Structure 1
Amino acid sequence: METNLVDCPECGLPATRREGGRLPSTDGPVEHVHVRCVIGHRFFGPSDILLHRRRPR
């Protein structure tokens, strides 16, 4: 199971992203993910709405 950091869709703070699988849609299968941010917001939705965080150097 792959996990990485993204921006929380609600508050913009760091959040973990976990694969959720593919669900059918009218345009074909869409990849979905589970997201949980550092203050507890939780989401399940299409992966294309997420912004990936850059790792500090």
Structure 2
Amino acid sequence: MTNSASPGGTPSGALADLDLTPCPGCGTVAEVSGGFEMPGLDGTERYVRTRCMVGHVFVGPEFALRTGFA
């Protein structure tokens, strides 16, 4: 099997698999690097972990990240 890579050395499709969002701390690009679910008052809530280019790490409810309440 051959490894198809773009001219920059990134395997094709790798960037399409990233889930990017603004960093809650500084606004730079952050990657959603994981998540988990916990019981909440209205059912199960999803929590996510992000890390931005500066190095800030955020772990919190996904709704806060997606709606800007963080």
Instruction: Give your verdict on TM over 0.5.
Output: yes
- TM-score normalised to structure 1 length: 0.75
Q: 1:31 aligns with which of 39, 42, 46?
A: 46
CA RMSD of aligned residues (A): 1.5
Aligned pairs for 1:1-57 (under 5 A) are: 3-51=18-66
Q: Whose helix proportion is higher, 1 or 2?
A: 2
Uncovered stretches (5+) of structure 1, i.e. residues with no partner: 52-57
Alignment: residue pair count = 50
Q: What do residues 2-34 of structure 1 show as CA deviations (whole Å, max 9, x unaligned)?
A: 641100001110000023111111111101110
Q: Whose strand proportion is higher, 1 or 2?
A: 1
Aligned identity (percent) is 38
CA drift of 1:45 comes to: 0.7
Bigger CA radius of gyration: 2
Uncovered stretches (5+) of structure 2, i.e. residues with no partner: 1-16
